[in-house]
Amino acid sequence: MKLPFTTLAISYLVLLISQPIHAAQDLEGGIQEVAQQLSAALGTGKVKKLAIVEFPDLNGYQSALGQFIAEELITQLSIGANAGQFDVVERRQLARVLQEQELTDSSLFDAQSISKIGKILGIEAIVTGSIADLGTDVKVNARAISVESAKVFAAASTKIPKTDTVLQLMRQNAGLASQGTVSAAVGLRPQVQRAGLFFQNGFLRIDVTSFTVSKDKKRATISLSLENTSSQDIYLATDECRATLVDNAGSVVPISRGDRVFVTGLQCMDVTQVVYGNELEKKKFVRFEPGAKTPVIFAFQGDETAFSGNLFTFSAEMLELAEKQARRFTVGISGIELLN
């Protein structure tokens, strides 16, 4: 017999409240703990599609720490043991809907607004939370809000030590913190690439702005600047997020089902599902005005493959939406360096 939603919600909250707050050893461990608690509280099959937003402090201030927690939760709930359990909406997609509907982050707690957002994105829940400075520790609270009732129905929490890394992220404004700054603070090594490292065709130029690799050599992030070099608007997306990163030692990510590519700044589209001539379809592609430069980030997660070289080649399959068709083209950039 299937229990009503309210009964399930109360059961989850009672279970979570009765459990002690876990104290993590570091930031990464704390986020993993929150992800595990959320995964268990949301339950297999009870919630499939959700969105995650930044975690402000108790005064509503948005820091780079809150931004990083949201980004890492997206990753944690999309890979590893949680792979396939949740379909997590890209943060920028949620932000775009809020902007189009002339709503703010505070609207996520309004029943009418959250219902509207849920219908547009096709999501069942929104995960948000807060960060509390406890002196030597930082407490992270996460909450899942039902788009149907606008009520909290699952929660998670942990404490993380306020290390220099955490303190640095807390002091940075989320709107000003760049991907490279956040990556450096959490142990990635951002490398600004030399000038002249780019891809170019008849309408687009792509420059590599920075490159990072994690300490365990299983994660890499490449930041790009995309510029429309034509005299007309262009509409771009990635072809089903297909991209690879190869080093000069022969390591390739992704190379197996366990490896992943996460794209920020572009949608991942299936060209066979594009409805041509439909104005609504254009909203799934990112519009680039003539001369406009837009940052796009590809993050590679190699669960089974670790990088061992120091020179990399990046390639990605992309789509340009024309009037009657979506044209595929391949972006390739070599000579990306990992500097020590």
Angle between the N-to-C axes of helices 91-100 and 111-121, in degrees from 0 to 180, rounded to the nearest 10? 120
pLDDT band at residue 330 under the 50/70/90 scheme: very high
Distance of CA 137 to the CA centre of its chain: 25
The answer to whether the CB of 106 falls within 8 A of the CB of 117 is no
Looking at residue 298, its amino acid is F
pLDDT band at residue 244 under the 50/70/90 scheme: very high
Tell me the per-residue pLDDT of 183-196, one tens digit each, with 9 for 90 and over.
444 444 444 455 56
Q: Which residues touch 151 (CB under 8 Å, ≥6 apart)?
A: 9, 145
Average pLDDT (313-323) is: 88
pLDDT score of 4: 45
The answer to whether the CB of 73 falls within 8 A of the CB of 147 is no
Average pLDDT (214-239) is: 87
Assessment of whether the complete model's pTM goes beyond 0.85: no
Q: Does residue 201 have a pLDDT over 90?
A: yes
Q: Does residue 121 have a pLDDT over 90?
A: no
Q: Does residue 139 have a pLDDT over 90?
A: yes
Residues shown for the chain? 340
Mean pLDDT is highest, among 66-70, 74-78, 100-104, 143-147, for: 143-147
Average pLDDT (214-236) is: 87
pLDDT score of 188: 45
Q: What is the DSSP letter of 243?
A: E
Q: Mean pLDDT lowest for which of 163-177, 239-253, 320-334?
A: 163-177
Tell me the per-residue pLDDT of 211-220, one tens digit each, with 9 for 90 and over.
888 878 888 8
Q: Does residue 70 have a pLDDT over 90?
A: no
Mean pLDDT is highest, among 222-236, 278-292, 315-329, for: 222-236
What string of DSSP letters covers 270-319? -GGG--TT-HHHHTTSEEE-TT-EEEEEEEEE-SS-----SEEEEEEEEE
Q: Which domains does the chain have, with CATH numbers?
A: 5-177 (3.40.50.10610), 191-337 (2.60.40)
pLDDT score of 190: 45
The answer to whether the CB of 300 falls within 8 A of the CB of 251 is no
Q: Mean pLDDT lowest for which of 239-243, 269-273, 297-301?
A: 269-273
